[in-house]
Amino acid sequence: MSEDEKRKQVEMEIIDDDSFSFDGFQVVRGEFFAHTYEPSLTFADCKVYVNTACIRKLPDFDFVQMLVNPEQKKLAVRPCREDEKDSFRWCSATAKRSPKQITCKIFFAKVFTLMGWDPNDRYKLLGKLIRSKNELLFVFDLTSPEVYKRSVDDTGKVKTSRTPNYPSNWQNQFGLPVTEHQGSLIVNIFKESAVFGLEKDPKGTDKAEVLSSIKPESEVEQYEQLTITDTVASSNTDNRPEEAPSPPIQMYPATTGGS
């Protein structure tokens, strides 16, 4: 069969239907599919880090800034030059360019207070690489986390679930309606946003003290720009549990911050 014949055969299989409408359809959430190679950002143990997919999508950038919009509850990772204020290295200084786990106790506490999250659990966010005003940046929705619950066994060993939990209000839906979905991620992330410096942490700040200070609040204080003081080590997150394909879904009660 010639290429023209194949093309005509394909065209004949298309049915014109002007009566079709997206009304009533929901866009199935990306979290419900395996997403090993999708951009993600994780909060755990007073640290924040992206996955390898983020690093590979921006091969020309070793430094980024972190931006938060507390009103829209969006977080952005913006690539930048090393000499820009509040920039930090998000990958190792090696040929492999592995993601770095960045200690950020104050930033960690502020995000968890904003969202009403449990600081003992691990939170993973899926994101998208977008272009806004000729800038590339990753945007993450803080209201749609995967939560990996932690528990302590009889021996006192802490175990992290490999099965993600999702907000309970997702249980009876596939995702957002089509019209709502179209504008759900692409927002003016720079409006009312703050840039956080994450490379360093204040000396003498104890992790337990930070965790105990995280309490849900009805109103979160204005997000001032932070510059934090101590150096942190890099580590490879290529094989962390949260990078495995998504196991069966579990639901957890929605928190006040994640509504």
Q: How far apart are the C-alpha atoms of 39 and 108, rounded to whole Å?
A: 20
Residues 6+ apart with CB under 8 A from 99: 49, 50, 51, 52, 54, 55, 90, 91, 92, 236, 237, 238
Q: How far apart are the C-alpha atoms of 187 and 74, rounded to whole Å?
A: 9
What confidence score (pLDDT) does residue 151 get?
Answer: 76
What confidence score (pLDDT) does residue 168 get?
Answer: 64
Find residue 132's DSSP bridge partners. Answer: 135
CA angle at residue 199 from 195 to 203, to 5 degrees? Answer: 115
Percent of the chain with pLDDT over 70: 59
Q: What is the pLDDT of residues 133-177, one digit of tens each?
A: 888 999 999 998 888 888 777 777 777 776 666 666 666 777 778
CA neighbor of 110 nearest in space, from 186, 198, 187 = 198
Q: How far apart are the C-alpha atoms of 137 and 156, rounded to whole Å?
A: 41
What confidence score (pLDDT) does residue 244 get?
Answer: 43
pLDDT score of 86 more than 90: yes
What confidence score (pLDDT) does residue 194 get?
Answer: 59
Of residues 115 and 177, which shows the higher confidence score? Answer: 115
Q: How far apart are the C-alpha atoms of 171 and 179, rounded to whole Å?
A: 20
12: which 2 tokens? 């004949």
Residue 43 contacts residue 112 (beta carbons within 8 Å)? yes
State the greatest distance between any 2 C-alpha atoms of the chain, in Å, as a whole number: 75
Taking CA atoms, 52 is separated from 11, 17, 35, 229, in Å, by 40, 42, 12, 26
Stated pTM of the model: 0.63
Chain centre distance of CA 166: 14
What mean pLDDT comes out for the span 38-55? 94
pLDDT score of 206 more than 70: no
Domain ranges of the chain: 26-210+222-232
pLDDT score of 69 more than 90: yes
Buried b (16+ CB within 10 A) or exposed e, 83-95: eeebbbbbbbeee
What confidence score (pLDDT) does residue 64 get?
Answer: 96
pLDDT score of 232 more than 50: no
Find residue 70's DSSP bridge partners. Answer: none
pLDDT score of 185 more than 60: no
pLDDT score of 197 more than 60: no
What confidence score (pLDDT) does residue 104 get?
Answer: 93
